[in-house]
Structure formats: C-alpha cells, structure tokens
Amino acid sequence: MNLIMTILIITVALSLILAIVSFWLPQMNPDAEKLSPYECGFDPLGSARLPFSLRFFLVAILFLLFDLEIALLLPLPWGDQLHNPTETFFWATTVLILLTLGLIYEWTQGGLEWAE
C-alpha cells in the first residue's frame, strides 16, 4: 500500500508541476502570419470556416462508442477466473444489449443514412 501511495503522490505532483509550468512558458504573440491558415505552403483556396457536416460527427461518436465497447470487453475471456463469472458475463451481455439497442435506434432514426 505504501508503494501505491508513493506512486500516486508522485503522479499528482508531477501533473501539477507540468500544468503550472505550461501556463508560464508559452508566449502568445499573435500576428497576421501566425493567424493565417496553412495549406502546404499555398494561399488558402477557400474559407477555413466552412460548415462541417453533422453526419461526420455522428459517425465519429458511434465509432468511439463501439471502440470503447471493444476495449471494455477485451478482458472478458479472463472473466471466468473471477469469483463469480456468471455475474461478469451478465454485465457484459447487458453492455452488449444496450449498445445494440442504441445502434438499432440510430439506424431506425436514419442517423446512419449517408445520402438522402
């Protein structure tokens, strides 16, 4: 327990030191050259503030959700070595069912239809 507390204190202290130093070091001197958009050395062809399609955002969020699901379910094969593997598989199945229901809802609402 002593080792864990030492590592935790060092981690928190180092994080605080780095956060404080990051506020002291940068020098913000904005000028026209720094504020202009950069496109491979050429002048920008269009506006840098074009509207972004919400469908790209939705697909990115869905990707992150299912990526997180995979990360949470990866240790599942070792779940049978726990004290109560039935409970582990029950909660894993619950997570899968909830995410599947969310995907079905998104599909029925037309959120995954790319072209109208």
The domain ranges of the chain are 52-108
- In the CATH scheme, what is the homologous superfamily, with its name and number, of domain 52-108? NADH:ubiquinone/plastoquinone oxidoreductase, chain 3 (1.20.58.1610)
pLDDT at 70 over 90: no
Look over the chain and give the mean of its residue pLDDT values, rounded to a whole number.
82
**Residue 89 tokens, joined:** 């598989």
Q: Can you tell me the distance from the alpha carbon of 111 to that of 40, in angstroms, rounded to the nearest whole number?
A: 34
What is the maximum span of the chain, computed from C-alpha positions, in angstroms? 64
Q: Is residue 100 within 8 Å of residue 56, measured between CB atoms?
A: no
Q: Does residue 73 contact residue 92 with C-beta atoms inside 8 Å?
A: yes
For 18-29, what is each residue's pLDDT tens digit?
A: 999 988 887 777
pTM above 0.75, yes or no: no
What pLDDT digit, counting tens, does each position of 89-112 carry? 888 899 889 888 988 988 898 877
- pLDDT of residue 39 exceeding 80, the answer is no
Q: How far apart are CA 88 and CA 68, in angstroms?
A: 17
State whether residue 1 is helix, strand or coil.
coil
What does the pLDDT read at residue 16? 97
Residue in 93, 99, 116, 108 with CA at minimum distance from that of residue 61? 99
Q: Which of 11-15, 39-43, 77-81 has the lowest mean pLDDT?
A: 39-43
**What is the C-alpha to C-alpha distance for residues 72 and 66, in angstroms, rounded to an integer?**
10
